[in-house]
Structure 1
């Protein structure tokens, strides 16, 4: 067989082998591209779902129309993405996509319900509780669905990454298989060539050498019938005519050069394929590393370290883009790049101005490659050139199509970045941008969670205070009923018994003040959650007299009880003379001073000195020249640390363990707020504590006390008193009879109505009816209604433990002419009688 025939067959075989190899490589490349496309689609789906979740949380927190519109736009974009044809062709992937579409439709419907619910909540506040609960449930359902969608999108992304890895493995396997086939084909060709071509050619080469050396008598002597045999015979005949001819070697040299050039091209192509595979592996490793991190700085450090070690580059950093100031801020610099960064001032937190150079193109979203920056006219390339850097690549970091940073990579050699490396940096910047966006979203979610938790704690604290106030309001009626007889009899004894001894009168005065304090304390307990009510008026209070009263009231606590334990507490009074009165409520200030004395005693477990001091204080800063009266309670006890001093006024904060409630100083602070006063605390560990209350003096901008109104005590009235408490009923009857009235007592609402009806039928009505509010079966409102139906002009006074609350809340019952609080005071009772009688006379 001729060599040409053999070569033709070998060529055809080579073509077939090369075609198969190219087909396999093309198939592997197409598969890899499809898997990359799947990965990009999965990333877009994940980004869309994450954005929906973030916008939902922002809408639930702020309920802004702009957030709702953004959510709708993102939802429409995600719906279009899910509805568009994708590269997810597997049964499982199609099932996940179908589930995402269904979940997306459900989330859109739930968000629409949430939006409508918020609109209805704004229109109808009466349904706030139901609508807020519905809003919470809708938000929870949307959160769960979006979380499920994120999980499904992550599953798609993970599968796409696995597909990329598998496609890469298949490409590597195809490449190895192609190499093996080529090696096998080359081996067979070499063997055939060795036997049929090389050996005869070696004989010819030897003949050529010999003939070239001048031995023209050499005969090759090949008897084969192929081209080499013919060549050998031609060679033999050539030697005979060699003297008359000249051999040309130029053509042989050109063929040899062409062969070497082809070999070099093939080697370069092979190197490019290996480099591309290596870059894909590096991109996969970096993507996995940054995907496992949620800290932005950690993500940047991983990227820079990987580029320095494995690309490699001589300088690498990441800058964040400040759009408002149009500059870059260096955020992360590579470990190997720190020396260069110091040299041209590119350390962390450095600022880089953006002018009309490559940076301006980069922040617009374009990758910029400068092959040689040695002669660049712009400031930023010149700065890098000071470190002998020549080649520069700047890749934008994008999040939702917005540039938020720039990845800078440079090398010392000019034009040292290939097109494949530039493409690799572009793809890497996209992955880094996505990871950074996820890290920022995670941080935002974490901050939102912390804000929600803090708000929840504040609401719980407020609810505890509200519950305490409501509980106090509920028991006020019973306590006031219990102390009403004591208050009435005490005032009556002080008024009607002038022959009482001084000691007895002082004791009764203390009892009267204690009763007033109890009533004020019960009424004020609900003020833990409510500001001072505007109808409360401040009266002049003698601070020195008040301090002496508190000393007498608390003597057992600071003197007798410590002495039983062998502890001596010395009380010192330093009261300023000619002190102007302060404007306030005497009972509240007395209770506050009592709490301060108790705290001072508790702070001196081993005894010490307790000092009560009053003085005219200079005007605090910001109050012009208004004088203040300072009341100080100082102890020589254990004192407080700075941390305790900052928190001591908080409700329920105590350092006494189970012995303390944490309400003493909180009540003192509430009193100062209601009085427009201030509280100062001077303390140090082991050096005692001084608490100073600064009150505005009378005539220094405070409203003066209203002059006591003059009234004439009416006499000879026929009064019906209705109450279900026999002690209150008896005390009212006795007090009114002392004033000269005829009193008929009824122990219940129905009994009172019956007494009144019988009197009306007998033609002997009542001048005034005094009735309690809270009574079983028939309360005070029903009694007043029944009386007004029979005798519309008969005045009705409602006497109740909730009197102050009814007045402050505007809940004055119908058919009631006057509301008085329990425990009643003689002056208030008499003024009430005069008031309703004058009103009745005016109407008549």
Structure 2
């Protein structure tokens, strides 16, 4: 058998064994994936069963509906998971799944009995002992069955883990076995080949020396059918022919010299083949290394370091090409090339202009090899030559027919790059370009994914705000109806009851302010999904008085509620004397202070000191020679747990909270919104374990603001016949009482249809109403339909619409055309009287 045939046969055997190993590894990988999927499914079942067991115990301890609902949801989820267990296909696994399903159904039935037993226990106190014993037994059965299910789930998990380990062990054994076979085949082939080559060659060398000495009777006598045997038979034939002819020693010497030249040529070819093989191995290593990286810098560094260590080269760098500026930007420089890069001014981030010679051809996609750059009169080759470099190769980095970079390598010796190295650099540049393009695509995709995720979060937050706003809009109407009687009666008592005690009047004033704050808060609910009016109606605010009001309003939060838990929070005030007024909205500033006090109380779970301080400081940044601007500062200080730097930076963001489920993340966000609308400033001073100070700074107006007061009406209409229509009996009663105090005759109607009927009856009798006051949102017949019906009967009858959406209707321009005046709930006596005065 010929030597080449042996080598090809050994190669085929090795490839076949490698293919078998790959197939085994692939099958093992698939098996391990299936076992891992089984393990994960078993883990999910185990977690679900454990949750059922925990919820069962919790229900037995607490017997609340929330735990029962959670148990039912978890049981349904477990049933669905057990119904879709396609991962488990073995007979034992299928049987285990069937047992789990049956046990789950039994547990559900037992839990239903447990719930029914508890209900019966609440109804039948006389059977308490029997029912408690039954409940204990039911709990024991549920516990035993859940424990059995946990054991089954653990068994499934152990089986999948053992299966994965067995598959891995089989793969390992197969790789070891077949790898050993490959090594053995290659070793035997090499040994046989060397033995069949080296000995015959040695014999031929000896025969050549003998024949060269003149002994033409020498014969090698090889019988092998390989290339060496052919050569030996040719040698013997040559000696036989030499016997028949006269051959001079000079001819023999020439023949010997030719043989020696052929041997040398073969050796050179072998060296070139080994060098080519080494370069291919290097290319494979570099390609594998850069394929594991996703950023350009690391890819370029791996390539440059590999070239410096294995090619080797004296200088190497990678440059990125900018088509717009037609410049190269040095991106990466080899570790061993940094000193030379400093000398050549080619350090990282330096720019290189494009020459008309080599670089110009390179950026157009051509590999350029300059054997001796000392003879080239272009800037870039001369720059490289100034550092002692002579041979230069520039390989383009091209992706999708576009050159985006250049790989530059150089050596100090001229003509030092051979054709094999140039071809290697060309192939390497193609692999590097592909890897770099993939890295850029990965970076772009990652950025696009991040942008998409941020956009999705923003959209989700907007949707959440819109949903909250729509829900709040519906709640606002009910809240306004509920507080309308309180507002009317409180204002009436403060106006009419002159004999109230000072303490009682103070209490009523606090109630009135609280009602105003609630009304303002309800009005701001729509800001969750609607923009606030750009202009605020500002009025002078006495800060010291406002802070004291907030302290009184929040007393339950910082005094009564902590004391119930045995916690003491002391409140201290430090008010500056002669504090100037600021321009603002009382309700918004009061609400912001309330939120800050609530946060301060929450930050002191073990108690502490809450300090509220007011002061006046000069705004040095905004002061001029003509005007000295001042600021009024309100400090809310606590001695609580403080905030970390990350919490301090994010605490003003909407929906960011550190209170868990107790917090909404909107308190400080609303404070920040108030600060922005008042052109004020907020400062947060905090330290972990030492407390937090929230400082709000408001500019003091430079001139006294003229506050326009509406002149008191000279005449308040009295003794008018008024129809009041509303679906809330409390609102009806309070409006009727207040209007009757002013001397009016009031007829009330419960709902829109009743109002239309009352107005028709009075109109037919010729006893019409002077004015109609109606609500907007009423069942069946709302305020719009009522106003339209009344205007059809009596176009001259004025209609006042009193609704919780009053201000919204006015701002949106959505007031009904038949309505003469729109007022917001809760109504104020002054606004109601002014409306009556204007329309009457």
Normalised by the length of structure 1, the TM-score is: 0.66
1:627–1:700 Cα contact (<8 Å) kept: no
How far, CA to CA, are the matches of 2:243 and 2:666 in structure 1? 120
Q: Confirm or deny that 1:790 pairs with 2:793.
A: yes
How far, CA to CA, are the matches of 1:662 and 1:494 in structure 2? 38
Q: Decide which of 630, 636, 639 is 1:637's aligned counterpart.
A: 639
How far, CA to CA, are the matches of 2:469 and 2:621 in structure 1? 33
How far, CA to CA, are the matches of 1:303 and 1:568 in structure 2? 67
Matches within 5 A, 1:472-487: 472-487=472-487
Q: Confirm or deny that 1:824 pairs with 2:827.
A: yes
Paired position in structure 1 for 2:757: 754
2:216–2:242 Cα contact (<8 Å) kept: no
Secondary structure at 2:814's aligned position in 1?
coil
How far, CA to CA, are the matches of 1:547 and 1:673 in structure 2? 20
Matches within 5 A, 1:598-747: 598-604=598-604, 605-608=606-609, 610-615=611-616, 617-618=618-619, 621=622, 625=627, 627-638=629-640, 639-657=642-660, 659-698=662-701, 705-711=707-713, 712-747=715-750
How far, CA to CA, are the matches of 1:828 and 1:506 in structure 2? 23
How far, CA to CA, are the matches of 1:804 and 1:273 in structure 2? 90
The CA deviation string for residues 454-504 of structure 1, in whole angstroms up to 9 with x for no partner, is: 222233333333333332221111111111111111111222222333332
How far, CA to CA, are the matches of 2:610 and 2:311 in structure 1? 78
1:749–1:778 Cα contact (<8 Å) kept: yes
Distance 1:405 1:752, change over 3 A: same
Secondary structure at 1:484's aligned position in 2?
helix
Paired position in structure 2 for 1:547: 547
Paired position in structure 1 for 2:807: 804
Paired position in structure 2 for 1:770: 773
Secondary structure at 1:797's aligned position in 2?
strand
Paired position in structure 2 for 1:367: 367
Distance 1:629 1:762, change over 3 A: farther
Q: Confirm or deny that 1:432 pairs with 2:432.
A: yes
1:543–1:614 Cα contact (<8 Å) kept: no
Secondary structure at 2:303's aligned position in 1?
helix
Q: 1:686: how far off?
A: 4.7
The CA deviation string for residues 315-367 of structure 1, in whole angstroms up to 9 with x for no partner, is: 43323334555544443344554565566565544554544553343233322
Distance 1:499 1:425, change over 3 A: same
1:580–1:698 Cα contact (<8 Å) kept: no
The CA deviation string for residues 704-742 of structure 1, in whole angstroms up to 9 with x for no partner, is: 644315433222222111111111111111111122222
Greater alpha carbon shift after TM alignment, 433-442 vs 495-504 = 495-504
2:538–2:583 Cα contact (<8 Å) kept: yes
Distance 1:306 1:662, change over 3 A: closer
Q: 1:689: how far off?
A: 3.4
How far, CA to CA, are the matches of 1:566 and 1:281 in structure 2? 75
Secondary structure at 2:832's aligned position in 1?
helix
Matches within 5 A, 1:22-101: none
2:290–2:435 Cα contact (<8 Å) kept: yes
The CA deviation string for residues 486-527 of structure 1, in whole angstroms up to 9 with x for no partner, is: 111111122222233333222222211111111111211332
Paired position in structure 2 for 1:517: 517
Paired position in structure 2 for 1:409: 409
How far, CA to CA, are the matches of 2:544 and 2:217 in structure 1? 136
1:682–1:690 Cα contact (<8 Å) kept: yes
Gaps of 5+ in 2: 9-185, 219-237
Secondary structure at 2:575's aligned position in 1?
strand
1:576–1:616 Cα contact (<8 Å) kept: no
1:634–1:690 Cα contact (<8 Å) kept: yes
Distance 1:783 1:629, change over 3 A: farther
Secondary structure at 1:814's aligned position in 2?
coil
Distance 1:282 1:649, change over 3 A: closer
How far, CA to CA, are the matches of 2:551 and 2:598 in structure 1? 11
The CA deviation string for residues 423-450 of structure 1, in whole angstroms up to 9 with x for no partner, is: 2212221221111111110011111111
Distance 1:253 1:566, change over 3 A: closer
Paired position in structure 2 for 1:151: none
2:544–2:575 Cα contact (<8 Å) kept: no
Paired position in structure 2 for 1:307: 307
Secondary structure at 1:446's aligned position in 2?
helix
Bigger radius of gyration among the two: 1
Secondary structure at 2:653's aligned position in 1?
coil
Paired position in structure 2 for 1:212: none
Paired position in structure 2 for 1:464: 464
How far, CA to CA, are the matches of 1:403 and 1:199 in structure 2? 62
How far, CA to CA, are the matches of 2:430 and 2:599 in structure 1? 65
How far, CA to CA, are the matches of 1:561 and 1:199 in structure 2? 119
Q: 1:275: how far off?
A: 4.6
Q: Confirm or deny that 1:567 pairs with 2:562.
A: no
Q: 1:693: how far off?
A: 2.5
Distance 1:651 1:203, change over 3 A: closer
How far, CA to CA, are the matches of 2:745 and 2:702 in structure 1? 45
Secondary structure at 1:575's aligned position in 2?
coil
How far, CA to CA, are the matches of 1:347 and 1:280 in structure 2? 30
How far, CA to CA, are the matches of 2:648 and 2:328 in structure 1? 45
The CA deviation string for residues 817-841 of structure 1, in whole angstroms up to 9 with x for no partner, is: 221111111111112223333xxxx
Aligned residues: 630
How far, CA to CA, are the matches of 2:763 and 2:491 in structure 1? 33
Secondary structure at 1:746's aligned position in 2?
strand
Gaps of 5+ in 1: 1-16, 25-172, 206-223, 236-246, 838-844
1:201–1:228 Cα contact (<8 Å) kept: no
Greater alpha carbon shift after TM alignment, 258-267 vs 802-811 = 258-267
Distance 1:699 1:780, change over 3 A: farther
Q: Confirm or deny that 1:398 pairs with 2:401.
A: no
The CA deviation string for residues 726-780 of structure 1, in whole angstroms up to 9 with x for no partner, is: 1111111111112222211111111100011111111222111111111111111
Distance 1:201 1:476, change over 3 A: same
Secondary structure at 2:656's aligned position in 1?
coil
2:289–2:302 Cα contact (<8 Å) kept: yes
The CA RMSD measured in Å over matched residues stands at 4.2
Distance 1:591 1:292, change over 3 A: closer
Distance 1:628 1:519, change over 3 A: farther
1:797–1:819 Cα contact (<8 Å) kept: yes
2:484–2:731 Cα contact (<8 Å) kept: yes
Paired position in structure 2 for 1:422: 422
1:390–1:414 Cα contact (<8 Å) kept: yes
Distance 1:603 1:275, change over 3 A: closer
Distance 1:326 1:715, change over 3 A: same
How far, CA to CA, are the matches of 2:282 and 2:547 in structure 1? 82
How far, CA to CA, are the matches of 1:292 and 1:660 in structure 2? 45
How far, CA to CA, are the matches of 2:492 and 2:528 in structure 1? 34
